[in-house]
Structures are given as structure tokens and as C-alpha cells.
Amino acid sequence: MLESNRLTSILRKRLQTFTTFLKQLLITRWRSLLILFTGVYLPLQLFELIAVQVLVKKGGFPWDVPILLAIHQTAQPQLDTLAVVLTKLGSVWTIAPILTLVGIFLLFRKKWRSLTFLIITGLGNAIINHAAKVLLHRIRPHLWDSLAPEFSYAFPSGHAMSSLTLVAILLVLTWDTSWRWLTLFGGGLFILTIAWTRLYLGVHFPSDIIAGWMFATAWVVAVNLIIQPRFSR
């Protein structure tokens, strides 16, 4: 009986200690936990919902085709030229050189954490996008003859992932400077513009774009939380 009471007392004390530790953890780390939930968990959940729908129903969502047709109704020669030119800005052949230049700048400034963050985020984005396309093998829409046809798989959109990843990396690196607002608003406009070109050219469903944004967001936020590139010590 004494041993049982002693064991119960020890367990109660350990439980109280753990409860105190958990409270302190939530108090001191609530921002990181909130970012983890809203920036990683929720985007991944939305990506999963879209991916399952794509796997089960190859045609995608009921609103995919109507949105594409509505955008196509705005087609005109000037917009055709603009879309063909601007869409190239979201390709990996444009994003990669930009990230390389930023990486060289960080290398000379000896920003090792920031450089590591950039490399892992950039390479990870490309690898994840390629793997997802191969695994899900969603065929691109063929509602009209595109001015810039694509022949790879559609899901998720590589342009959407690359453009958001680029802007997110720059936003993280400039967050403590006066450049962050320009990066935020200019980058947001850039992301939306690239998404418009992909839909205008008819090479992606809207769900491809949304899925690309969601996975890229989760990836960038997760790598940022792990590496903490703005932590200089």
C-alpha cells in the first residue's frame, strides 16, 4: 500500500511537471506553433484535398473548365503577346538564375543560414514539383490551341510553385529591412500575373495553380522554421 501511494505521488508530480512544461512551451512558442499550423498544416491539407480529387476524378473540379473558358473569352491579340512574354518569367529557366544571383550575394556576405535556406528551398521546390507531376500524371487541359503549349504533366503548376517560392524566399530575406513591403506587394502582383498567364494560355487548370501555391507555401514556411535564416548568431 505504501509503495502504491508513493508511486501515485511520483506520477502526480511528474504529470504536474509535464503540464507546467507544456504551458511554458505554448506560452513561449505560440507564434511558431501558429505559423506551423497556418503556414504548413492548412496548406498541406488543402493540397491533399485537391490531389485526392484529381486522382479520383481525372476531370478535376466542376469549376476548373468554366473558369478557363471565362478567361479565354477575354482573349485578344495584345493580351496574347503579353501572356506569352510574361509567362516565361515564371519558368524555372528564369527563376533559377535569379536565385543563383541572390545566392552569390549571400555567399559574399557570408550569410550562411540564409544561403542554406535559399538552396534547400529552391532545390526542394523543383524536386517536389517534378515528383508530384510524375506521381499524379494529370493531363493538361485541351480546350483550345495554346499559344505556348506544354507537354509535361500539369499537377501541380510548376510556374505557380516557382513564382511563389521565389517571392517567399525574397520576402523572408528582406523581412527585417525596408524592402519587405515592396517585396510583398510587388511579389504578390508577380505571382498573380504568372497564374493569369498560365490560365490565359490554357495550359493549367485553376486547381493546378492553387495546389502549386499551397505546397510551395508549406515548403517555404517549413524550411524557414527549421533553418531560421534571419537568426544570425
Q: Which of 221, 209, 190 is nearest to 64 (CA)?
A: 209
Do 43 and 219 contact (CB within 8 A), yes or no? no
Cα 104 from Cα 24, distance rounded (Å): 40
Do 168 and 212 contact (CB within 8 A), yes or no? no
- 223 pLDDT band (50/70/90 cuts)? very high
pLDDT tops 60 at residue 2: no
Is 0.85 topped by the overall pTM?
no
3-state helix, strand, coil in the chain (%, to 5): 75, 0, 25
pLDDT at residue 5 in the model: 66
Cα 112 from Cα 229, distance rounded (Å): 8
Q: Which of 69, 61, 84 is nearest to 198 (CA)?
A: 84
Q: Express each pLDDT in 65-95 by its tens digit.
A: 899 999 988 888 899 999 999 999 988 889 9
Q: Which amino acid is at 10?
A: I
Q: Express each pLDDT in 96-144 by its tens digit.
A: 999 999 999 999 888 888 899 999 999 999 999 989 888 888 888 888 8
